[in-house]
Structure 1
């Protein structure tokens, strides 16, 4: 027998859950380093604009479809379809979202497991267990399997507890903790030698970097940072009360997401230059700032090692921050296939969570055993191809397939006069025409289509 459908008990619960889904590892390390590589504040300004010009309208599409249908992604898109072709399209998009969310979580659990291992490493050193500490920061298959399993178990435990007692309760606890840790680390890092140089790199605009590629990069960051395309926000929207104003909640989620991404830049960029001041290399051979896993797992730990005993406590705080960011994102991704299993396969929540979680962990294990050939491939398939194409499909459903009077009827719940607002005058045609074009432009840039076209003319 399937579990009864849950619902967020408050606005704060939804906001913390939705913001937690959006604020993940990509926000903490991806946004700041992209900003540094693309003219600092020039990138930040473009990103902030595009977060509301692209990400917010697409977010509204997912939230509105989700609350209207009050079901998982497959059933939701079937429900607003108007004929056999659109129903088939809905099935393909819905199952595509489940598959892509599962693939993202399969590699995300591995990376998040690294964060948990690096969080445990300072404790091992404080206890004098040097060999264990070294093993925790090794790249061994055993280490990766163990900590991917630990992280997957944490995620499954939260999802198994349900919407209110699991997702909402833990998001409400973890997101304030994340913000407090982030602010404390910023205060500490800004007192270190070299921090001001990093702050200047981040905040002073260099418009010589302004280009089409900068706009596309900012566009992609704005879209993907809000966890759009795979149905996470659609599912969260389905747990919302009908008394809530969707445009207002969507705007708040966008503000929280871009706010935390911007704040993360106040930590990461200064920390990189503090590391350089301490003798750590922060520029790659190409001259670009080091980003991604090399930043998190090499540059910053090298910085912490120069701080002596204080560095151990800074490392604990930093990797606690990264672990929290990982968990708040992973629970939203796991909820996508779990919701389908509960509502379509009629499984209980705990059974569905265990079954889906074990399947995804099996994929993670396969990636770990074939890391060199599968890790980057799975990331590319899911984030570079899957997410943008699914995002376009969801915009098509909201803008072209779902009847406009039904859309307005849903939005009026919690916002009676929405039909006379500027939002309603702009959003319907904007999500129909502008969002798909912008997403496809970002997609084309990310897979190198633009460079291929340019090659034909040079």
Structure 2
């Protein structure tokens, strides 16, 4: 027998968990890095449009299917299927979601490990352990492996505790702390020399920078940021009470996610230009971003160094923020394969967590020892291609395969008069036709 299913005990608990899944390194690391690499404010405008035009409708599909089925992605898609072909497609899509979620977590844990190492660095400096501090900030395989293991262990500890005592409890503690730290750091950075130049680059769009690649990057960012396509929101939806209004919760999660991504940009972009003002080179002569995925780990420590002794405490606050953001997302990604192991393989939660966590850590280790060849490839395959294409499949299941009367009945739970709302008049045909076409059109554009 599989373990009994958990359930979020409050609306606030779900919001913090879902927003925590959405608000992670995708917002605070990925989003500002993409903004800096893709023309500044032009990317921000495209991202905001796609977050509401594509990500929110797909989020609603995931939450609806998840709460209706109350199972993992494989069984949920099979459960709403109407024949052998759709059941087969649902099985393939469900397993693909588990694989993509695991791939995302495998590279995500490496980046999060960097954050843990950089959080330890100021403490080593304060204690006068200079050699340790240099090792912590150096890019060695040993350091990466050590801190990926530490971060993976923290993620497994939370997931092993279950939905209420693990995911919900830690999300409600960590998310408010994240927001407070983020706002305090923004207030500090905006008063530094060079910050206003960064603010201009972030807020004043240059639409000559628009390109098909920018649109694909923005779409990938929106899906990665909201944890879409891989079953994380489907799983969280399956832990939701029937009394909750799904359209309202989905809108709130999207708004919180977009709001924090935008707010993170108010920290990172000005901080980049503050670091540039202090002598750190962030763009090449050709105008391309130099640092790539390690952007904030090259720019921000240089900024903290210019602050003298107080920079150590600002660094602690910043990397604590990054660790919190990392954990709130990683727990949602690990829950995808763990839920499958519990419900399909009949495993208890703790052994399921240990098994899946160790398999993903093994993949992380493979990436660490083949970093140049694998890291960028895994990021691109999973976030720019895997998530949006799986999003198309979820749209097809919600719009074409799931019986309309069952879909309406599910949405009426917690929202009895939804049939009379603008949401019901627009969303079913929008997720059925517009979302798949827009996502596929973005891919076609990049191939021309």
Q: TM-score, normalised by structure 1?
A: 0.94
Q: 1:386 to 1:215 in 2, by over 3 A?
A: closer
1:418 counterpart residue number: 418
Could you tell me whether the CA contact under 8 Å between 1:190 and 1:196 is conserved in 2? yes
Q: Bigger shift: 98-107 or 287-296?
A: 287-296
Instruction: Find the counterpart in structure 2 of residue 271 from structure 1.
Output: 271
Deviation at 1:236, TM superposition (A): 0.3
Deviations 1:30-67, CA, capped at 9 Å, x for gaps:
32343345554443333222211111100000000000
Q: Structure 2 vs 1, CA of residues 31 and 239 (structure 1 numbering), >3 Å: closer, same or farther?
A: same
Q: How far apart in 2 are the matches of 1:213 and 1:142?
A: 35
1:96 lines up with 2:96 in the alignment: yes
Displacement after TM superposition at 1:436 (Å): 0.8
Q: Distance in 2 between matches of 1:322 and 1:416?
A: 40
Note closer, same or farther for the CA distance 1:444–1:30 as it changes in structure 2 (3 Å cut). farther
Aligned-pair CA distance for 1:365: 1.4
What does residue 390 of structure 1 align with?
390
Other structure's SS at 1:283 match = coil
State whether residues 29 and 292 of structure 1, in contact with CA within 8 Å, keep that contact through their aligned partners in structure 2.
no
How many Å separate the matches in 1 of 2:311 and 2:436? 46
Aligned to 2:195: 195
- Could you say if the C-alpha distance between residues 214 and 293 of structure 1 is closer, same or farther in structure 2, counting changes exceeding 3 Å? closer
Residues 185, 340 of structure 1: alpha-carbon distance in 2 compared, 3 angstrom cutoff: same
Shift of 1:285: 3.7
Please, which moves more after superposition, 366-375 or 124-133? 366-375
Corresponding residue SS for 1:350: helix
Does residue 179 (structure 1) correspond to residue 179 (structure 2)? The answer is: yes
Runs of 4+ in 1 over 6 A off after TM superposition: none
Within-5 A mapping of 1:221-236: 221-236=221-236
C-alpha distance in 1 between matches for 2:113 and 2:215 = 32
User: 1:141 aligned to 2:141?
Assistant: yes
Partner of 1:92, secondary structure, is helix
Contact map agreement 1:14 1:168 (CA 8 A) in 2: yes
Aligned equivalent of 2:262: 262
Figure out how many residues of one structure are paired with residues of the other and give that number: 448
Alignment of 1:13 with 2:13, yes or no, is yes
Name the counterpart of 2:294.
294
Provide the C-alpha distance between the structure 2 equivalents of 1:219 and 1:378, rounded to a whole number of angstroms. Answer: 17
Q: Distance in 1 between matches of 2:374 and 2:206?
A: 37
Contact 1:30 1:291 in 2 (8 A): no
Cα deviation, residue 290, structure 1: 4.3
Q: Label 1:140 to 1:216 Cα distance change in 2 as closer, same or farther (>3 A).
A: closer
> Aligned partners of 2:307 and 2:234: how far apart in 1?
44
**2:33–2:295: 8 Å Cα contact kept in structure 1?**
no
Rate the CA distance shift 1:103–1:216 in 2: closer, same or farther, 3 A.
closer
Aligned counterparts of 1:90 and 1:278: Cα–Cα separation in 2: 53
What is the rounded CA distance, in whole Å, between the counterparts of 1:187 and 1:18 in structure 2?
27
- CA distance in structure 1 between the aligned counterparts of 2:314 and 2:285, rounded to whole angstroms: 28
Deviation at 1:442, TM superposition (A): 3.1
Describe the shift of the 1:364–1:46 C-alpha distance in structure 2 as closer, same or farther (beyond 3 A).
closer
8 A contact 1:399–1:432 mirrored in 2: yes
Q: CA RMSD in A?
A: 1.6
CA contact (8 A) 2:105 2:360 kept: yes
2:408 corresponds in structure 1 to 408
Q: Deviations over 1:144-201 (max 9, x none)?
A: 1111110000000000000011000101111111111100100010111111111122
Contact conserved, 1:2 with 1:346, CA < 8 A, in 2? Answer: yes
Deviates more, 1:234-243 or 1:378-387: 378-387
Per-residue deviation at 1:293? 2.7
**1:93-132 matched pairs, under 5 angstroms:** 93-132=93-132
- Equivalence for 2:238: 238
- TM-aligned CA deviation for residue 223 of structure 1: 2.8
Gaps of 5+ in 1: 454-458
The aligned counterpart of 2:364 is 364
Q: Choose 427-436 or 298-307, whichever is displaced more.
A: 298-307
* CA distance in 1 between partners of 2:212 and 2:141 (Å): 41
| TM-score normalised by length of structure 2 | 0.96
Contact persistence 2:47–2:219 (CA under 8 A): yes
Using the alignment, how far apart are the partners of 1:99 and 1:50 within structure 2?
25
Kindly state the Cα deviation for residue 406 of structure 1 after the two structures are TM-superposed.
Answer: 0.7
State how far apart, in whole Å, the 2-side matches of 1:101 and 1:61 are: 17
1:364 Cα deviation after fit: 1.2
C-alpha distance in 2, partners of 1:427/1:284?
A: 44
TM-fit CA distance, 1:210: 4.3
Aligned equivalents of 2:140 and 2:38: distance in 1? 34
The 2-side partners of 1:37 and 1:350 are apart by 41
Q: Secondary structure at the match of 1:71?
A: coil
Work out the CA distance in 2 between the residues paired with 1:214 and 1:110. Answer: 25
Q: Deviations over 1:227-269 (max 9, x none)?
A: 1000000000000000000000000000000000110111011
The structural deviation recorded for 1:27 is 1.1
Aligned twin of 2:282: 282
